[in-house]
Amino acid sequence: MKVQSAFLLSVPRKWIYAFAFASIVLIAGFAATGEAHAQTYYVSSSDPGRSDSGPGTSVSAPWATLTKVSSVTFNAGDTILLKKGDTWTGETLYLKGSGTSSNWITLSSYGTGARPRITPYTSEAAIPAADPTNVANNGIMYGIRLQNNAGWKIVGIEIAYTKMGIVYTNDNTANKDGLWIEDCYVHNIAKWPIHPYPSADTRAAELQYAAYSIGIYAHGRHLDSGLYGHLQNITIKNTTINNTDAPLDVGWADNITIDAITAKDSYREGVQFGHVNYDGSGPFVGSFTNSRILRSGYLYGFAWGSAGLQFNAVHHFTVDNVEIGSTKAPDGPDGVGVDFEGLNTDVTVQNSYIHDNDGDAFMLTRNGFWGRNEVTGMPIENANTSIIGNYIVNNGLKIDPNQPHAAFMVHGWNLGNGGTISGNTIVKASASQALNNIFERTPRLTESMPRDHVYANNIVKLPGGDIIHYAATGFYKTQGAAGWSYLVNGSTNAVWQEAPAPNDYDDAGTTQSYGIPYDYAPNANWQYGQGYWKSSAGGMQIGDNWLLPDVGQAAHRVWTSDGIKKIRITGTAKKADVSGGDGVDVKIVKNNDATPLWSGTLAYNDATGLSHDITLMVKSGDKISFIASAKSSATGDKTEWNPVIEEVQEPGQSIYTSQVPNNFFADARYDLGTKFKANVSGTITKVRIYTKDAESGIHTVRIWNAATGAMLLPKAYDWDIPGGTAGWKEFTLPVPLAISADTDYIVSVTNSPDLYYADTQHGFDSPINNGNLITYAASGVGSTTLGTMPSITYLNSSFFRDIVFVPTPSQTIFTTQTPDYYFYDAQYELGTKFKTSVAGKITKVRIYTNGVETGTHMVRIWNVATGTMILPTAYSWSVPTGAAGWKEFTLPTPQAISANTDYIVAVSTGTDKLYADTQHGFDSPINNGSLVTYAASGVGTTSLGTMPTSTYLNSNLFRDIVFVAD
């Protein structure tokens, strides 16, 4: 590929290593006393001058073996440097001596090349088989081992092909200070003797502290019996851990910072935190940020269950911007994304991407086996565990009749939590998938949320992007929450009735005060209550998925639209109590319309019910009421009804259609993009690129305002593209991006470290336009400075960066109306007078024709007040014959119109004179969404080309528009 020099501009990167040596001699009085000096030691397995007999303090005469390093006890401030490019096999590195978090002992590297490698064996296959009773038969078990020695900083080391990677344990009562691991690569850690759960652990005592092989294991105590000191001030960053039984396990530790780690392809479990910031003197905090956990447990899973990220007895901890995906459970239960297993307090998972897990996205349980107070021995529930602002998509994938999975949460008797669940977007794997699996409910699979959290602004979507509002999901103790309100007779607010606290947790049958449970599951006497809305006087009640009217008190569950949208209302109303009574009247009403959208009567014993399926346009402030009314008696009137309001998305549009690249190049790292605009407002839901089959790895997604240079997404998104077949790959934006009409944007996606990208030179010699999306000549842009808005062009290349754009939902005046007559008495200019409640654009004009109407029709739109035709020109439209129905003409340029301004859309008849007509069709206005008409809005004239104003019998002449609000 010949590339313009400016486009290939790059700056060489060099790493400069500076090593400072210092010694201080302190002379006090008449005597000189030598104190320990910070010293630097060098180790090489390849240097000709290497020798374990020397001091190892010079680059020219380094030590040779890890055995030599393991024999020395180091002091705070010392540095041990392993030569880059060298490998040590057949050895473990034991680190002795202690520094502090303010004066580390450092293990790092010198020279140039790849990280130094500690590989006790030459491959994973060469690691000896696990022997649970004879420790010696397990061979070399560790890469790096620290026992009771802290204050170490380990930077830039590769550890592989052993049973445990980096291991810290402590078996005394003193707290230890400091462990720092940075820029390390730990992989292929396997064959530790496995815990025989659920059987008793009969392994040799030395093996019992770990259940399986772990990449990085840092526990402040050695075994589960007895209390020991904690390891404090842990940092692990910029580290990759692949192909282990479990990548990372941190426990009995305080003050933890984990950042920018990647953990992939673990065989049994994911990342685990246990007893963190717990039982200590504090205040302690912990964080896990900017990281990725993928394909945990993919080979085996584990008998007690697998999770991408697990918390057990963790306090004051925040997870932020962590991707947790594709957790598997092939030979065990769970396979969840995030597991709050028990005893967790003030733990928050936020701004993270939880996707494609076998199990539910989140698990909250009060696990009496794992989560017990160490003093009382009682299981303790999670408290104030929060789930905020996450993108949760395509979870609960494993089909397991013994353990059904849901899209969002599995919840086991974890009441009184008090945490916040807000701002999350949850995308179901299918429309029929349950949202939650709540043990304490019957049935367990439900659209309801567990009680005792604070809920706000969560969005549930279907795979295609439609937002769904289940009545049960939005049910909460605050009027208006999630758009739902609860009224008596449609005018009086209902009042909230809190559920009583549950009792009888313990299986001994003794009632305990709430918050002091004794066992994992409740006994047979345990009761689970759910709050509900009720009338202040009388018997009307509204629950999460049921209505109970009283005589003279209709139960109204009301949803309020927050914008212009097309909605579909589905559900089934059926009797929950079939013991008696005289039945229940049910109906759905929009606003206060006299005619309901749907209605029916349930017989007293109708457990099958009546179903509804309605589609309509709504605007901001429109109310949809679901109403149950008693007849002469309210006996047995409890009615199960969990209606669903689905926001129907318009079909998505992309810039590219059938285009494919001419070339694939791999010459440098670039930020590559496409400049575009849309002629109507809408949202970008996905970004897509065309890849060759070998292209893979991390690509970074951004969208820019081309005029201001501002990056518009909440953050740049990392997108891990798997290799495979060539073609379009799509990334779903966690939060769809709203864009304005006629504004220039750039969608950009970097190539990955494999450098591949698609290119068709001269692909943008002319614009590529599709639907409402418009590009320019030279719309393909690039930059060699990653993370900046690309703006350089070369040979008008197309780099196949694209979007999926969903226009703001369109509206029409007419919905289900059809003509009563077709006439052909004269040629007319026929129209409909209308206005809109918001500004926007007319994208199409439409008319209703019979099967034979044809010929040239002229299209015009008029401003009523001024009498001016506002289109650039009158458009000639040749209407084809065919089936009777609506025919549409797309305006070459969408026509902007103002709010609350009267217009007339006019389309002349053809020479065949045919036109549709319903006399008295405008005796009253026809309104839909933001579109408003008047009585006598149907107008006409015999003077072709002039604004029609005459009316006749309030006729509807079926002239209409397609309108998109700004």
Of 407, 320, 311, residue with least CA distance to 355: 407
Residue 949: Cβ-neighbour burial (10 angstroms; 0-12, 13-18, 19+): middle
Is the pLDDT at 225 greater than 90? The verdict is no
**In the numeric block, which tokens belong to residue 724?**
């495979």
**Residue-wise pLDDT tens digits, 359-410:** 999 999 876 555 444 445 455 578 899 999 999 999 999 988 878 899 999 9
The residues, any chain, with a CB within 8 Å of residue 699's CB and separated by 6 or more, are 689, 718, 719, 720, 721, 749, 750, 751, 752
Q: What is the pairing mode between strands 152-155 and 105-110?
A: parallel
Q: What is the pLDDT of residue 404?
A: 85
Q: What is the pairing mode between strands 425-427 and 386-388?
A: unpaired
Contact 51, 57 (CB under 8 A): no
d(CA 106, CA 104): 6
Beta-carbon count within 10 A of 511 CB: 12
Amino acid at 894: P
The residues, any chain, with a CB within 8 Å of residue 911's CB and separated by 6 or more, are 827, 855, 856
d(CA 411, CA 422): 17
Torsion of CA 45, 49, 51, 54, to 10 degrees: -140
Is the pLDDT at 164 greater than 60? The verdict is yes
Torsion of CA 670, 671, 672, 678, to 10 degrees: 180
Q: What is the pLDDT of residue 35?
A: 41
Helix ranges (H only) for 494-546 are none
Q: What is the pLDDT of residue 512?
A: 35
Q: Roughly how many angstroms between the first and final C-alpha of the chain, as a whole number?
A: 44
d(CA 36, CA 23): 9
Q: What is the pLDDT of residue 331?
A: 83
Q: What is the rounded average pLDDT of the residues 470-483?
A: 95
d(CA 695, CA 666): 10
Of 361, 463, 418, 348, residue with least CA distance to 730: 463
Beta-carbon count within 10 A of 355 CB: 23
Q: How confident is the model at residue 9 (pLDDT cuts 50, 70, 90)?
A: very low
Strand partners, 294: 264, 325
Amino acid at 900: N
d(CA 576, CA 637): 8
Q: What is the pLDDT of residue 783?
A: 97
Q: How confident is the model at residue 414 (pLDDT cuts 50, 70, 90)?
A: confident
The residues, any chain, with a CB within 8 Å of residue 873's CB and separated by 6 or more, are none
Q: What is the pairing mode between strands 158-162 and 821-823?
A: unpaired
The residues, any chain, with a CB within 8 Å of residue 656's CB and separated by 6 or more, are 690, 768, 770, 800, 802
**In the numeric block, which tokens belong to residue 902?**
């009267």
* Three-point CA angle 708, 714, 719, nearest 5°: 110
d(CA 933, CA 940): 15
d(CA 163, CA 143): 8
In Å, how far from its chain's centre is CA 287? 19
Up-side HSE of residue 506: CA atoms within 13 Å toward CB? 14
Is the pLDDT at 529 greater than 70? The verdict is no
The residues, any chain, with a CB within 8 Å of residue 964's CB and separated by 6 or more, are 680, 681, 682, 807, 808, 809, 810, 811, 840, 841, 843, 894
Q: Which of 162-166, 175-179, 339-343, 946-950 has the lowest mean pLDDT?
A: 339-343
**Residue-wise pLDDT tens digits, 545-586:** 999 999 999 999 999 999 888 899 999 999 999 999 999 999
Is the pLDDT at 33 greater than 80? The verdict is no
Q: What is the pLDDT of residue 881?
A: 87
Q: What is the pLDDT of residue 939?
A: 98
**Residue-wise pLDDT tens digits, 103-116:** 999 999 999 999 99
**In the numeric block, which tokens belong to residue 9?**
């501009």
Q: What is the rounded average pLDDT of the residues 151-155?
A: 98
- Look at 463 and 643; give whichever has higher pLDDT: 643
Dihedral sign of CA atoms 516, 517, 518, 520 in order? negative
Q: Which of 62-66, 340-344, 901-905, 952-956 has the lowest mean pLDDT?
A: 340-344
Q: What is the pLDDT of residue 399?
A: 86
Q: What is the pLDDT of residue 36?
A: 54
Is the pLDDT at 859 greater than 80? The verdict is yes
Q: What is the pLDDT of residue 528?
A: 58
**Residue-wise pLDDT tens digits, 436-453:** 999 878 889 999 998 889
Is the pLDDT at 279 greater than 90? The verdict is no
Q: What is the pLDDT of residue 12?
A: 30
Of 171, 152, 167, residue with least CA distance to 246: 167
Cα separations (Å) of 67 from 140, 553, 640, 812? 13, 84, 72, 80
d(CA 134, CA 192): 12
d(CA 345, CA 197): 27
DSSP 854-870: -EEEEEEEEETTTTEE-
With tokens 């305006």, the residue in question is 891
The residues, any chain, with a CB within 8 Å of residue 666's CB and separated by 6 or more, are 754, 755, 756, 757
Q: What is the rounded average pLDDT of the residues 250-272?
A: 96
Is the pLDDT at 694 greater than 60? The verdict is yes
Dihedral sign of CA atoms 133, 139, 145, 149 in order? positive
Residue 48: Cβ-neighbour burial (10 angstroms; 0-12, 13-18, 19+): exposed
d(CA 934, CA 927): 9
Amino acid at 174: A
pTM of structure: 0.84
Beta-carbon count within 10 A of 20 CB: 7
Phi-psi domain of 167 (left: phi exceeds 0; alpha: psi -120 through 50; beta: other): beta
Helix ranges (H only) for 715-822 are none
Q: What is the rounded average pLDDT of the residues 66-77?
A: 98
Q: What is the pLDDT of residue 174?
A: 87
**In the numeric block, which tokens belong to residue 442?**
């019957």
Q: What is the pLDDT of residue 226?
A: 55
Strand partners, 32: 27
Is the pLDDT at 27 greater than 70? The verdict is no
Dihedrals φ, ψ of 464, to 5°? -75, -5
d(CA 736, CA 716): 13
Q: What is the pLDDT of residue 342?
A: 83
Contact 229, 285 (CB under 8 A): no
Contact 229, 172 (CB under 8 A): yes
Q: What is the pairing mode between strands 565-575 and 610-618?
A: antiparallel
Q: What is the rounded average pLDDT of the residues 178-195?
A: 97
Contact 213, 207 (CB under 8 A): no
Of 445, 458, 557, 541, residue with least CA distance to 499: 541
Mean predicted lDDT score pLDDT of the chain: 90
User: Which residues of 776-921 form beta strands (DSSP E)?
Assistant: 780-783, 801-807, 810-811, 821-823, 829-836, 840-849, 855-863, 868-869, 875-879, 885-897, 903-908, 915-917
Q: What is the pLDDT of residue 372?
A: 47
